[in-house]
Chain A
Amino acid sequence: MREINLEKISYELALRANINLRGDCVRLIDKAYKSEKSTLPKQALRIILENSVIAIEKKIPICQDTGLPLVFIEIPEGVKWERKYIDKINRGISKAYKEAGLRASTVHPFGGKTSFNPDIIHLEFSRRKTLSITVFPKGFGSENKSRLKMFNPTVSKDEISDFIVTSVRDAGPSACPPFFVGIGIGGTSDYALLLAKKALLERVDKPNSDEPLRLWERKLLKRINSTGIGPMGFGGNYTALSVKIKMHPTHIAGLPVGVNISCHALRSASFKVKADNVKVI
């Protein structure tokens, strides 16, 4: 019987997410750096890569905005779940933020003392056999640029593409390009935005397994990169590094589309374990 210590695991996930830039992100940034020709954007991409190395060496966060640490949990068959487990996860995250000096950016909407953790948990009962816990510190420079549009169900894909490209263009240099762009299509207003956020948790360097979506993502990326915003807004060929779309059934009367943008410092860390013979503590 393997013991799963939730407090310890979430502590480690919060540290890893904030300090170690995701491997799939590093690969895409590195690829862009190697192919960019223009001086200033190339220099920006080099500094982004250098930053990820310095963060690990100095054990300090990649970005001073250590975000709102969001939690995504997938509970498989055969694992009993209780409210107290969420408390343990929150405790682990808060402890990591406090001990490692990650910024306390959580605050009451109208001010007051800041804290570490907003207790935003997305819990899902899954058909997979794996228990999965993800900590996703979301920075607000990019989160502030989130967009939702409730389209008519008769809308064309081109109109949706226009909305997505405009949303990314409006995000502009202050949301820290090059971006990773998450798109949620379908569900309800809230669900489309949740899908968009979850899209950012997928491997951003891996093509979509659904062919029509893969082609659409590629087209969108090309259009976004033709805006010429580029790293830090310094121009060049890389305004975004990846576009990921997730879809879900929706109502016959509408078509919600959510856009969630991540800065180049897309940070998340996951723990996954086969759920047979485990004991959650």
Chain B
Amino acid sequence: MKKTVKLKTPLVDRIIKSLRAGDEVKLSGVIYTARDRAHKKLAGLLTANKTLPLDIKNAVIYYCGPTFCKGKLGSCGPTTASRMDNFLKPLAKAGLRATIGKGKRSYAVREIIKKHRGVYFVTYAGCAAYLSNFIKSYKAAAFPELGPEAIYEFNVVDFPLIVGIDAYGEDIYSDI
């Protein structure tokens, strides 16, 4: 039976294990944006055994490159998660627990999520103005040189998510 739950970060083991693919989640707390080029940099730092510019332990990464207008956060919907599939392994190993994006992910990602007891959430793609209503504040966190692909820290309240892949490797998109 699918359920709707309210969750707060950090997403510790007990919370993650309680989630099942298809559950609706309203997430509050801290999430970090990162997309293609930020992932390349993060993975590069891990390979070189260097410290990451954010605390990755139990963190949530939102695959998103938001817009800003005059210092205010604008639209901020999810981007295609599968482009970040190849970067998940080193990040999950470093402690990343949850990712938020859109679309189907590879079989390898399902296995990584299962192994590291993580979770992949999907959110409402192409609904970036709607999603901006759930972000209460933001600050720059890392890689400002990447412009729209920089890492931002978002403070979210009841951010609407659906569990895409759960810690047991179940995937809502496995049939399509």
Q: Which of B119-160 contact A (CB under 8 A)?
A: 122, 124-130, 132-133, 147-149, 160
**Contact call B176/A51, Cβ cutoff below 8 A:** no
Q: How many A-B residue pairs have CB under 8 A?
A: 134
B118 interface residue, CB < 8 Å from A? no
Q: Is the CB of B147 within 8 A of A64?
A: no
A101 at the interface (CB under 8 A from B): yes
Taking a contact as CB atoms under 8 Å apart, the answer to whether B75 and A60 are in contact is: yes
A51, B128: Cβ atoms closer than 8 Å? yes
The 3 nearest A-B residue pairs measured at CB: A174-B103, A101-B69, A55-B129
Are B176 and A228 closer than 8 Å at their CB atoms? yes
Q: How large is the interface on B (under 10, 10 to 19, 20 to 34, 35 or more residues)?
A: 35 or more
Contact with B along A42-79 (1 / 0, CB 8 A): 00100110111011001111111110000000000000
- A101-B69, A173-B104 given; A141·B130 CB < 8 A: no
Once the chains bind, are B172 and A62 in contact (CB under 8 Å)? no
B67 touches A66 (CB 8 A): yes
**B22-52: which have CB < 8 Å to A?**
37
Contact (Cβ within 8 A) B75 A64: yes
Q: Residue B113 at the A interface, CB < 8 A?
A: no
Mask: chain A, 105-124; 1 = CB below 8 Å from B; 0 = not? 10000010110000000000
Is A100's beta carbon under 8 Å from chain B? yes
Check B65 against A144 for contact (C-beta < 8 Å).
no
10 contacts between A and B (CB under 8 A): A47-B130, A60-B67, A60-B75, A61-B74, A63-B77, A101-B70, A104-B148, A176-B126, A233-B173, A263-B125
Mask of B95-116 contacts with A, CB within 8 angstroms, 1/0: 0000000111000000000000
CA distance A196 to B106 in the complex (A): 29
CB contact between B147 and one of A60, A62, A114, A139 (< 8 Å): that residue: A114
Closest to A235 in B: B176
With A60-B69, A64-B67, A101-B70 known as contacts, the answer to whether A174 contacts B81 (CB < 8 A) is yes
Among candidates B66, B72, B128, residue contacting A62 with C-beta atoms closer than 8 Å: B128
- Residues in A lying within 8 Å of B, measured CB to CB: 40, 44, 47-48, 50-52, 54-55, 58-66, 100-105, 111, 113-114, 139, 141, 144, 169, 172-176, 227-229, 232-234, 263-265
- Closest-CB distance, A181 to chain B (whole angstroms): 16
Cβ contact within 8 Å between A263 and B126:
yes
| Residues in B whose Cβ lies below 8 Å from that of A114 | 147-149
- The residue from A52, A54, A102, A169 contacting B67, defined by CB atoms under 8 A apart: A102
Inter-subunit contact A60/B125 (CB<8 Å): no
At the interface, yes or no: B58 with Cβ under 8 Å from chain A?
Answer: no
Given A111-B37, A265-B126: A64 in contact with B173 (beta carbons within 8 A): no
Interface residues of A, dominant DSSP: loop
Q: Is B59 an interface residue (CB 8 A)?
A: no
**Measured between alpha carbons, how far is A128 from B1 in the docked complex, in Å?**
59
Contact A60 B74 (CB under 8 A): yes
Quick one: closest B residue to A60, CB to CB?
B74
Collect the chain A residues with CB atoms within 8 Å of residue B133's CB. Answer: 54
Q: Give which listed residue, A40, A52, A111, A141, contacts B102 with CB less than 8 A.
A: A141
Decide if A264 touches B126 in the complex (CB within 8 Å). yes
- Rounded to whole Å, the gap between the CB of A180 and the closest CB of chain B is 12
Contact in complex: B103, A175 (CB < 8 Å): yes
In the assembled complex, which residues on chain B have CB atoms less than 8 Å from the CB atom of A265? Answer: 126
A50–B102 touching, CB < 8 Å: no
A264 to B37, CA, bound (A): 26
Q: In the docked arrangement, what's the CA distance between A195 and B133, Å?
A: 38
Least Cβ distance of B148 to chain A in Å?
Answer: 5
Which one, B37, B69, B124, B127, contacts A100 given CB within 8 A?
Answer: B69
Q: How far, in Å, is B158 (CB) from chain A's closest CB?
A: 14
Residues of B within 8 A of A172 (CB): 103-104, 173, 176
